[in-house]
Amino acid sequence: MSLVEEISALWGEYLDGREVGPDDDFFALGGNSLIGIRIIDRVSQDYGVELSVRAFYLAQTPARVAELIEQERTRT
């Protein structure tokens, strides 16, 4: 499973089991600040990277969040 697929599946877990595609918008799927914080915390635990709240919300899609994770991995 690719990182984008993993992030899409993770979002689905927190968005009531919805199927989430790589380019789906977090807010259009019903995402809110509480769900976003939970996802950011999970990403930190699962992938060992710190994403800022601002970066997560600006990314808006699993594909873009996966890119941010990869960027953070290369910095460490």
Domains of the chain are: 3-75 (1.10.1200.10)
Q: Note the pLDDT tens digit of each residue in 24-42.
A: 999 999 999 999 999 999 9
Under 8 Å between Cβ of 62 and 7: yes
CA atoms of 59 and 17, how far apart (whole Å)? 21
Please tell me the predicted confidence (pLDDT) of residue 67: 97
The percentage of the chain sitting over the pLDDT mark of 70, rounded to a whole number, equals: 99
Greatest Cα pair distance in the chain? 33
Q: Is the pLDDT of residue 76 over 70?
A: no
